[in-house]
Every structure is written in C-alpha cells, then in structure tokens.
Structure 1
Amino acid sequence: MSDDERRRPLADTTPFPDGLDERLHAQLTFLVEVDRLKTVLRQSPLAAADRRENDAEHSWHLAMMVTVLAEHADEPIDVGHTVQLVLLHDLVEIHAGDTPLYDSVGALDQEAREAAAADELFALLPADQTRLLRAHWDEFEARRTPEARFAKAMDRLQPLLLNWMARGGTWRTPGVTADDVRARKSVIADASTPLWAAARRFIDEGEARGWSRPGG
C-alpha cells in the first residue's frame, strides 16, 4: 500500500450514503479511521495468547486499569476523564507507528512524528472536537494534571504486567537491563506511590528470576 493510500481516510473507500448531516459525517469518518489502531502491533506479548498485542487492545486494557486502580492514585482523579486520556493517547500511532519503550533511536524523532500525526488525525473531526481531543492528547503528553500522570502510569504499568506473565517479554530486549526497566517505569511514582512500590517488586523479582539482565 502506498503512503498516499495509507493517508487516505478509510471511509473514502466505501463512501457513506448521501444526505448525512455534515457533522455526523465527519465524526463517523474519524471513527472509521481509528479502526486502523487495531492493526498497529506493539512489542508486548499477550498474557492469554501467543501473539503480540495491538494498540487498540492496549488502550482498552488501560481504560480497565484506570477504572479498577484509580483508588491507588496519590491525588484524586476524575476517572472518566482519565479513561478518555488513555483511549486517545495512542491514536497517533495510526500514522506515526509504535515506538518501543527501549528504542532509543526511534525516540529521537518520536515527539515530532506523533505531533504531526495528531494534527492530521484529529483534523478529521468537527472543529470543536478537533480542539478538544487534541487538547486531551496534549494533556496526556505533558503530564501536568493528576489525570494525565495517572494515565501515563497505567501506560507503563500495563506492559509490565504482560512482561511478567511472559516471564520477561520485552525485558529481554538486547542491551536492556533491569535498571533500564526501572528507569523507564519510574514515571509510575509520579502518580501512585503504592503502584510504584508494587512495580518495583515485580521488576526486582523478575531480575532475581533471570527474566531480565542484571542491573549495573
């Protein structure tokens, strides 16, 4: 598939019926477009099947984690708003692709790639929703609110659980040590002291079991 074809809205391949309300047409176009998220593979293995998870599965799992674990936030959070943040945060990977946590080369231009993808994707919506959803995405990236910090914590905790279930998973990435895992996961501490304590126990035990390379 050419780059132009990938950039063409999916809804254009099977045009909607004539006469739809203009606002609804734009909203449905966006909703069809984000179906692409189901095709973006991540590095994390599933706990329940022998394959990697996709971005849509990841985002759903984060929404469940926010719902269940909100009581462990160090600051009160609006659960509904935090769920919105985790559902939106990876949509840009439809165009920017997934950048694995331990990919130092991919991280160099990740911010620019994802910002450009956000500009393109959210522009499919009516103008007011473009501004709102882009603001939510920016909020997640900046981590200045309790909701954004907790959403980011879930984004780091979820793969940790999957890697634990896989007895290493991406912890075995060449060149990655247990100290690297601790460093990448430390943002959990910005949102939840008890969840960071639990995460440290998982990482420490994984290192003790030989599921990751010893730290320096």
Structure 2
Amino acid sequence: MQQIIDFILELDKLKGVTRKTRPLGLERQENSAEHSWQIAMLAASLAPYAAEPVDINRVVAMLLVHDIGEIDTGDTIVYAEDGWEERKAAELAAVTRIFGLLPAAQAQRFMSLWQEFEDGETAEARFAHAADRAMPVLLNLANNGQSWRENGISHARVVQRIGPPIQSGCPALWDYLVERLAHAQQQGWFGAD
C-alpha cells in the first residue's frame, strides 16, 4: 500500500508542471495534470470517430501516463523543433524512476502503456496521439491563438506538426480542424516563425 501512496503523491507534482496554453477564461497557464485529464476525456468522447476500432480504456490509460515524465523534465511545447532525442531519453529516465515507486507488476503495466504511446504503432496509440495533439489546438482556437502568438508559432508549423498524427488517429477530427485553422490564419492568430 505504501508504494502506491508514494507513487500517487509523486504524481501530484504534475500539477506544478506548466504548459504554454491557458485554460479558457483564466490568465494562468494550464498544468500537465489538467492536460492529461482533458485529453483523456477528449479521447473518450471521440472514440466513435477513431480511424480504427480502439480499446478506449487502453487509450485513456495511455493518455493518463504519457506526460508523467514531465515531473522531472518539465513540458516542452509540441511545436519545438530541436532536442527531441535528448528530451525523450530524459523522459524515459523520469518514468523509469517514477513508475519504479510502484510494485513491479504495476510499474511494468504503466511502463508498457507509456512505451506504447511513445512508439505510436498501435491503433490505440495513434488515436491517443490524435487527442494529445488536438487539445492545445482546440484551446488556441478558443483563445484567439494565445500560445501561437505568444510563442511565434506559424500556421505552417502547426499544420506540419499536428496534422499527420491527428489525421492518422482521427481523420474526422482533422477534417474539423483544417477549416478552423484556415479561419484562424485569416484572423491573424498565428505568430511568425
């Protein structure tokens, strides 16, 4: 029991990891715990639109564990272009440490889910990636491009980074976003790279 409690209390630190996007109607940045919860709910809501049949419980579990490494590494904006190999190595070390707080069988289960998300090869992982990439876009669209403008992110970079994973995992969601991203571009909601 103590190992599980230690793990859960360690996860509380995810609430202190800030991201670049603001929650609707708030002046503060969202945190990674909020992001993980929201994308899990997004995926659960979008399950009928997945590109392939998925085990939604597995998808939700993946989304709940995929950013746990940020407890040690912090968050990197999805549109960053350099340093991904180093970042992923640091996240692997972090999740190994954090999941290692649990009894071995539970640690292995969570590590397998984390790795499946990272590999992105299963239908569940592709759908999870679609939800993960879509949520910051949806918040930016609702916030007049707040983090795109503040961080100098262009329309082209957004489409290049989020288009393929969303189209692969949830084509209907990508179809929905294409039109809205074009409108956002017309509104001047993007930065200049």
User: What is the TM-score normalised by the length of structure 1?
Assistant: 0.84
* Paired position in structure 1 for 2:135: 158
Cα 1:148/1:114, change in 2 over 3 Å: same
77, 83, 106: which one aligns with 2:60: 83
* Paired position in structure 1 for 2:124: 147
DSSP-derived class of the 2:30 partner: strand
| Separation of aligned partners in 2, 1:189 and 1:74 | 8
Checking the alignment, whether the CA contact within 8 Å between 2:151 and 2:191 is kept in structure 1 is: no
Q: Which amino acid aligns with 2:175?
A: A
| Separation of aligned partners in 1, 2:20 and 2:180 | 19
| Separation of aligned partners in 1, 2:10 and 2:167 | 34
Checking the alignment, whether the CA contact within 8 Å between 2:55 and 2:124 is kept in structure 1 is: yes
Question: Stretches of 4+ moved more than 2 A in 1?
Answer: 102-108, 173-176
Q: Does 1:197 align with 2:175?
A: yes
Residues 9-48 of structure 1: matches in 2 within 5 Å? 24-48=1-25
* Paired position in structure 1 for 2:146: 169
1:66 deviates by 1.2
Which structure: larger Rg? 1
Checking the alignment, whether the CA contact within 8 Å between 2:152 and 2:192 is kept in structure 1 is: no
Q: Which has the higher contact order (CA 8 A, sep 6+)?
A: 2
DSSP-derived class of the 2:19 partner: strand
1:108 deviates by 4.8
| Separation of aligned partners in 1, 2:45 and 2:151 | 33
* Paired position in structure 1 for 2:187: 209
1:192 deviates by 1.3
1:107 deviates by 3.0
Q: Does 1:113 align with 2:90?
A: yes
Checking the alignment, whether the CA contact within 8 Å between 2:184 and 2:190 is kept in structure 1 is: yes
Moved more, 145-154 or 103-112: 103-112
1:101 deviates by 1.5
Q: Deviations over 1:98-126 (max 9, x none)?
A: 11122334435211111111111111000
1:85 deviates by 0.6
| Structure 2 portions without partners, runs of 5+ | none
Q: Deviations over 1:169-215 (max 9, x none)?
A: 22224542110010111110111111111121121111011111479
DSSP-derived class of the 1:109 partner: helix
Moved more, 76-85 or 164-173: 164-173
DSSP-derived class of the 2:20 partner: strand
| Separation of aligned partners in 1, 2:162 and 2:80 | 14
Give me the CA root mean square deviation.
1.5
Aligned residues: 192
| Structure 1 portions without partners, runs of 5+ | 1-23
